[in-house]
Amino acid sequence: MPFYAQIQNGKVIAISEGPSEMVLLESNDNKLLGTSYIGLSQPFGDATSFSGLKATLTADKTEFAADGVDVVTISVAIKNWKGEDVEEFAGMIKINVNGSRKDLTVTAGQATYVYKTTTIGKKNISTQDADGYPYILHGAVSVEAYGDLEEL
């Protein structure tokens, strides 16, 4: 099988084997990254289709006080590769805050996580490990916890 170099702006950005099947896309975007594809070369596929999910995260504010009282609410929405809500998604997903993970229950494609801290600094919040859903891209959002600096 031949290998190909993917070139962007005169620079090689990827090397790959030649695909066994090529699919014409309507536009050049990254919505399909992380999806699965059932194509004509697969015996169980009656028709061609893409299948995949994406967890999108939004925060109700970008800054909050690092006082252990003020909170930021993170909303998680599960969408398909077209950007449509996936209400049939239900299960566990992990939420990750600067490397610390916690299970989060998703019901009807939606979940909410309320976060507070006493530690000043940027908080990177993302999702990981959706049980039973191998074809999912995980989203992320960053918020800033502010407070008074201690004098030395």
10 and 68 belong to one structural domain? no
Residue 15 lies in a domain: yes
Residue 123 lies in a domain: yes
28 and 58 belong to one structural domain? no
Answering whether pTM is above 0.75, one says no
Q: What is the pLDDT of residue 75?
A: 98
Write the pLDDT tens digit of every residue in 101-118: 999 999 999 999 999 999
- The phi and psi torsions of 91 (rounded to 5 degrees) equal 155, -165
Q: Is 61 helix (H, G, I), strand (E, B) or coil?
A: coil
87 and 126 belong to one structural domain? yes
Q: What is the DSSP string of 86-131?
A: -TT--EEEEEEETTEEEEEEEBTTEEEEEE--SS-EEEEEEEE--T
Report, as an integer, the average pLDDT of 63-71: 97
* Number of domains composing the chain: 2
Distance CA 105, CA 113 (A): 10
Is it the case that residue 22 has pLDDT exceeding 70? Answer: no
Range(s) of the domain holding residue 31? 3-51
Residue 152 lies in a domain: no
